[in-house]
Amino acid sequence: MPVKNRFAEWLPELTAWRRDIHAHPELMFDTHRTAATVAERLREFGCDEVVEGIGRTGVVGVIRGRVPGVGVVGLRADMDALPIEETTGLPHASTSPGKMHACGHDGHTTMLLGAARYLAETRNFAGTAVVIFQPAEEGGGGARVMVEDGLMDRFGITEVYGLHNWPGQPAGSFAIRPGPFFAATDEFNITITGRGGHAAKPQEVIDPIVAASHLVLALQTIASRNADPVGQLVVSVTLLQAGGGAHNVIPQTARLRGTVRTLDPALRDLAEGRMQEIAAGVAATFGAVIDVDYIRSYPVMVNGAAETEHAAAVARDVGGACGDAPLVMGGEDFAYMLEARPGAYILVGNGDTAPVHHPDYDFNDDIIPTGCSWLSGMVEHRLRAG
Ligand SMILES: [Zn+2]
Ligand SMILES: [Zn+2]
């Protein structure tokens, strides 16, 4: 089962689809044009069922194999873009100012469309394939919303698979790892309230800037002094804001913002707990009031051991080899689907391109047949027609 010839034949057409989606990026749940295009194509392919509006703008296609079977394999792609101003200057560059497919979800959507077309044409499997196109991977938790909307039960999905293109990894090569793979991504917003006043009368004020500065430094000790050094933990302050610009005014408040990344639930609890304790300690030290709003976002994305083996087996068939992927401290909301059902997530090399989320990034169309072959291969491998 190397790269299927059908996908090589379809490559010019699939490339045109990918570039059309790239030129029309949509953010979060606002993926109306993309979802409508996907649904139209799935109907053209002859999917047995096409359902729109799952998880707001999510689309699901159902394809039954030529042999009945109890297995239902879900394949997932994400459809949303990012709020980035594209600088590639390519002919198919974004036509929407400030929006860009900088994570390659245009490519993921196209690869899953290609796989759906092939599966609907050949139906060489026993059971059911469910193709899942989700909105809002980049921060909106579209996967969670689709799962909450009954995705898994409604279509009887028994296992679920997904992929991401990976710049810096040789084009079309595969890499995967079992167990925790992508980090839990939490966010925090901290407000420090002091007492503002004249900058020449420090004895009369409670300076929120001094308290905020100490807090930023103290938060660094969660990773360096509290966490076991062999674990993985990132605590990053990404915003520090105070004052209106006057040289002679101490402001009333300061704000911090940032992210916490972990791959282990115990470390996640530790980071949240220590953040609250350190904030309380700094507040007591300076007489300020510090409010910490800690928001748990995407959970750790955990690949099933058996499903990782299945995914790697198909990857070896398609690409000749499957490497060991590194741990990723970025988040991925496919984690919610993997909490709901067994499954696995694999990386496909995008070659030597700009990194994802960069304004010069572009998805590598050469890897479309590889992704299509792996996605459709997962169905044929897991639902063998005998
Ligand atoms: Zn992304
Ligand atoms: Zn992405």
DSSP of 229-259, one letter per residue?
A: TTS-EEEEEEEEEE--S-TTEE-SEEEEEEE
Structure tokens at 220: 């660094």
Distance 28 CA to ligand 2 centre (A): 12
Amino acid at 225: R
- Shared domain for 194 and 50, answered yes or no, is no
Domain count, the chain: 2
How many angstroms does the Cα of residue 297 sit away from the middle of ligand 1? 15
Say which residue the tokens 């060991």 belong to: 324
* Radius of gyration from C-alpha coordinates of the chain: 24
CATH number for position 127:
3.40.630.10
**What gap in Å lies between CA 361 and CA 198, rounded to an integer?**
48
pLDDT at 1: 56
Domain boundary among 296, 322, 350: 296
d(CA 32, CA 53): 10
CA of 209 to the centre of ligand 2 (A): 36
Same domain, 288 and 345: no
Shared-domain flag, residues 154 and 14: yes
As a whole number of angstroms, the distance between CA 313 and CA 291 comes to 50
Rounded to 5°, the CA angle 17-22-25 comes to: 125
Q: Are residues 171 and 237 in the same domain?
A: no
Pairing of the two strands 174-176 and 323-324: parallel
Gap from CA of 163 to ligand 2 centroid (Å): 9
How many whole angstroms from 372 Cα to the centroid of ligand 2? 17
Taking a 5 Å cut-off on Cβ, the residues next to ion ligand 2 are: 103
Residue 275 sits in the same domain as residue 200 = yes
Q: Which domain holds residue 206?
A: 184-296
Q: Give 115 Cα–ligand 1 centroid separation in angstroms.
A: 22
Give the integer Cα–Cα distance in Å for 175 and 31: 29
Per the rule left: phi > 0, alpha: psi between -120 and 50, beta: everything else, 19 is alpha
Of 269, 296, 323, at which residue does a domain stop?
296
Whether residues 175 and 197 fall in one domain: no
Residues 146, 30, single domain; the answer is: yes
- What is the whole-number distance in angstroms between the Cα of residue 62 and the centre of ligand 2? 24
CA of 6 to the centre of ligand 1 (A): 29
CA of 137 relative to ligand 2 center, distance in Å: 7
Same domain, 30 and 149: yes
199 C-alpha to ligand 1 centroid (Å): 43
Query: Looking at 296, 321, 351, which one is the last position of a domain?
Result: 296
The Å distance, Cα 289 to ligand 1 centre, comes to 35
Distance CA 142, CA 230 (A): 32
> pLDDT at position 386, please?
76
Q: Please report how many Cα atoms fall inside a 13 Å half-sphere around the Cα of residue 230, on the Cβ side.
A: 0
**Distance of alpha carbon 185 from alpha carbon 234, whole angstroms:** 10
To 10 degrees, what angle do helices 5-23 and 368-382 make?
120
Q: Which two tokens stand for residue 137?
A: 């991977």
- Pair (35, 153) in one structural domain: yes
User: Residue 228: exposed, middle, or buried by beta-carbon count in 10 A (0-12, 13-18, 19+)?
Assistant: exposed
Closest ligand relative to 108 C-alpha: 2
Å from CA of 131 to ligand 1 middle: 20
| 216 plus 128 within the same structural domain | no
pLDDT at 132: 99
**Helix, strand, or coil here: 53?**
strand
Distance from the alpha carbon of residue 20 to the mean position of ligand 1, in angstroms: 19
DSSP string of 282-347?
A: HHHHHT-EEEEEEEE-S--EEE-HHHHHHHHHHHHHHHS--EEPPPB-S--THHHHHHHS-EEEEE
Nearest ligand to the C-alpha atom of residue 363:
2
CA of 193 from ligand 2 middle (Å) equals 37
Same domain for 275 and 310, yes or no, is no
Query: Cα(356) to centroid of ligand 2, in Å?
Result: 7
**Distance in Å, CA 65 to ligand 2 centroid:** 30
Q: Are residues 128 and 204 in the same domain?
A: no
Are 151 and 54 in contact by the 8 Å Cβ rule? The answer is yes
User: Using CA atoms, how far apart are residues 163 and 105, in angstroms rounded to an integer?
Assistant: 10
Dist CA 40 CA 30 (whole Å): 17
Tens-level pLDDT at each residue, the chain (386 residues): 578 899 999 999 999 999 999 999 999 999 999 999 999 999 999 999 999 999 999 999 999 999 999 999 999 999 999 999 999 999 999 999 999 999 999 999 999 999 999 999 999 999 999 999 999 999 999 999 999 999 999 999 999 999 999 999 999 999 999 999 999 999 999 999 999 999 999 999 999 999 999 999 999 999 999 999 999 999 999 999 999 999 999 999 999 999 999 999 999 999 999 999 999 999 999 999 999 999 999 999 999 999 999 999 999 999 999 999 999 999 999 999 999 999 999 999 999 999 999 999 999 999 999 999 999 999 999 999 97
Give the residue ranges of DSSP H helices in 155-236: 208-221
- 8 CA to centre of ligand 2 in angstroms: 24
pLDDT at 299: 95
- The tokens for 183 are 């980090």
- Read off the CATH number of the domain in which 206 is found: 3.30.70.360
